[in-house]
Amino acid sequence: MIRTQGLTYAYPGGNALEFPDVDVAQGAVLLLSGPSGCGKSTWLALVAALVAPSSGSLVVAEQPLHALKNVAADAWRASAVGFLPQKLHLSAALTVYQNLALSFWAAGLAEDSARIHAALQALGVHGLAQRKPSQLSGGQAQRVALARAVLLQPRVLLADEPTASLDDEAAADAVALLLNTASQHHATLVIATHDARVATLIGAHSQGQIGLQCLSLLRKPLSNAEQSGQAGSALAASSTRGGEGTV
Ligand SMILES: Nc1ncnc2c1ncn2[C@@H]1O[C@H](COP(=O)(O)OP(=O)(O)OP(=O)(O)O)[C@@H](O)[C@H]1O
């Protein structure tokens, strides 16, 4: 779940970015769309506790983030948040397997080989475990990065521009993969993008929509099974900032 209220963030010397309030149920999907520069990456950084808001409140996976500082924020992020960045940040010097193993180290956990193999298997890239990232296709690398993102069973999965520079077929595959993977882990999924195709790909299943000045938010529960008993809260959208909200 992700709940924000009155969230703002100001870069040093810059105007404050104001974000709409959201209330996203555990296991639901949030599409974070808007033109370049409107604040999508900043919002993701706030939700991942990489930066602290200038004002407002933020609760992610039941954790009030204002209560988290430095090391505690790092530990919380490692266990609660899976991140699929636009630039995948796979270490070129390490194998696919070793890239995933790094996640355990970052979270202060003992390496769990069985879990690494299972994560790679689930995304169909198990056979590539001993390859280096330079020996992967773009799609294979994205699957490896997604396996890494969900390795520690995060409550929230954040994907930044996952369809950038993909053709239509690959973009549809990438979105389907994200939806399925998040659903399997019952993770709340956020896709940040300015790619209009993503709204279309998710839109067929959408339950509600809010249009705002800069960010437009579109959400749906992950699956029929999960939304029974949850749809109300998944759609309990509020848009007190930015105006013109409709659900
Ligand atoms: N480190 C920074 N210092 C000052 N201003 C910044 C910094 N990073 C981002 N900004 C500004 O904050 C605003 C929001 O940036 P952000 O990267 O969150 O937007 P975005 O919607 O993710 O853009 P894009 O789709 O191009 O990645 C922009 O006006 C940007 O210029």
What confidence tens digit (pLDDT) does each residue in 123-179 have?
899 999 999 999 999 989 999 999 999 999 999 999 999 998 788 888 888 888 889
* Contacts with 64 (C-beta within 8 Å, 6 or more apart), sequence order: 57, 58
Q: Using a 6 Å cutoff on CB, does residue 215 contact ligand 1?
A: no
Angle subtended at Cα 185 by Cα 27 and Cα 3, rounded to the nearest 5 degrees? 30
pLDDT band at 6 (very low <50, low <70, confident <90, very high): very high
Residue 36's pLDDT is: 78
User: Which residue of 7, 17, 33, 38 sits with most ligand 1 atoms within 8 Å of its CB, as the best mutation to test the pocket?
Assistant: 38
- What distance in angstroms lies between residue 17's CA and the mean position of ligand 1's atoms? 9
Size of the chain, expressed as the number of residues it contains:
247
Residue 18 C-alpha to ligand 1 middle, in angstroms?
Answer: 13
User: Alpha helix locations (H) across 15-88?
Assistant: 40-47, 70-80
Architecture of domain 2-91+154-234: 3-Layer(aba) Sandwich (3.40)
Question: In percent, how much of the chain has pLDDT > 70?
Answer: 82
Tens digit of pLDDT for each residue in 90-122?
Answer: 999 999 999 999 999 988 899 999 999 999 998
| Sign of the Cα pseudo-torsion (192, 193, 197, 203, in order) | positive
51 lines ligand 1 (CB under 6 A): no
Q: Measured in angstroms, how far is the CA atom of residue 56 from the centroid of ligand 1? A: 19
Tell whether the model's pLDDT for residue 85 goes beyond 60.
yes
115: Cβ contacts below 8 Å, ≥ 6 apart: 151
* Residues 13-33: tens digit of each pLDDT: 988 888 888 888 888 888 888
Q: What is the pTM of this model?
A: 0.82
